[in-house]
Amino acid sequence: MRSVIKNVHLLDGTTDYGTGDLYIKDSLIEGINLSGEVDETIDGSGLTLCPAFIDLHAHLREPGQEVKEDLASGLAAAAAGGFGSVVSMANTKPTVDEAGIVADLVAKARKIGQARLFPAASLSHGLKGETLTDFGALKQAGAVMITDDGIPVQDSHLMRRACEYARELDLVIQTHSEDPGLRQSGVMNEGLVSQRLGLPGNPISAEAIMIFRDCEVAAMTGARVHIAHVSSKRGMQVIEWFKAQGHTNITAEVTPHHLTLDDSVFESFDTIYKVAPPLRTAEDVAYLRKAITKGVVDSIGTDHAPHTQAEKDLDMLQAPFGIPNIELTFPLLYSELVEKGAITLTRLIELLTVGPAKVMKWDIPTLEAGKAADLVLLDLATEKPVTPKSFKSKAKFSPWTGQNLKGWPVRTLVAGKPVYSA
């Protein structure tokens, strides 16, 4: 099978190739501006083509929580968002803490044939933070990352042993860096807004202290430690300090919601904004954006966290933490950051492709010949409102409902095959 996408703006996280024709042969990129007969021609006029995005942080809820999301809906949602590869989190029911569960997820995702699935496995059995899982067996079954995401690893000795184990296997440890003793039952950022609303707060210190602990253990062991969903200026400054000391094994992730929303939204008492770690202040949002331009941030992870509408309709103390956003990540960040001059389009694409690949030591996705034809066509000009009822995800709600955004994915290819078409 040979196809061509014609008259399209070609852009990846390293190079702007201008307008041209990209040829695909079977599952690989054949080259730019070639010639000869093709089986399919796609008109890319007015569109932008780049490598499909990579998400190192998505909650797909399977096994056990399929009422919220399952592999079929979650991977379809990822493809609709322009993602060709997704790392699924392990905090399911049962927890992904055995090799058999990992193998089952890999096999099922392959049959579904949507975005590529790369399961993460849990650091501790049952996310209890007491005993380590068998990292070696989990990796052999297909796990690419170790994380208890959703629950911080409280025991520093266990974290050390996990890092030493992961270093020997060259696995990434992803953290949920919050000090539980300081976080307590906080449902939003601790500050002026939480005090005014009378809601229990989660202080920035809870994040900064645990990020320091996790970075210090990474520095001690040499393990590859990825600090997930950094939400605060103080937390990012800790990472910045460690990186300045030369600890290249430490990487950092930010999320779409922490880059675009602040704690003032809670004035509405709407649980749709309840997320862990919480939305912080406008100053924190500004600093996270600054960290992107300074190169401190390595990747953007969605932290896509679907729940049922009934769960999110509970009150602020009982509703679960989490925002579904994988289908909106690119148009949201393109509209809010690129269009408004906060970052460049190339930098955004880098954070969604090159950055995650470097964190994982995967092949760097570009538009060069011989690379996997995992691609996304983007419409950067057309403005459309966010309409959750049309989501592929089972979570049909969004903090950005009705907001007009540009940059919507039009077509997503994985290994040269279409997995989404608008």
Tell me the catalytic residues: 303
Percentage helix, strand, coil, to 5, in the chain?
35, 25, 40
The residue type found at 277 is P
With b meaning 16 or more CB within 10 Å and e meaning fewer, what string describes 97-130? Answer: bbbebbbbbeebbeebebbbbbbbbbbbeebebe
Cis preceding linkage at 94, omega within 30: yes
Beta bridge partners of 202: 189
From 56, 47, 14, select the one nearest 253 (Cα to Cα).
Answer: 56
Cis preceding linkage at 180, omega within 30: no
Opening angle at CA 88, ends 80 and 287, nearest 5: 80
364 burial level (CB within 10 Å; 0-12, 13-18, 19+): middle
Alpha carbon distances (Å) from 52 to 45, 142, 252: 19, 21, 21
Strands 116-121 and 145-147, bridge-based pairing? parallel
**Residue matched to tokens 């190079």:** 15
Helical H runs in 170-232?
180-183, 192-197, 204-221
Q: Using CA atoms in the order 32, 36, 41, 45, what is the torsion angle rounded to 10 degrees? A: 40
Q: What are the tokens at 272?
A: 């749709």
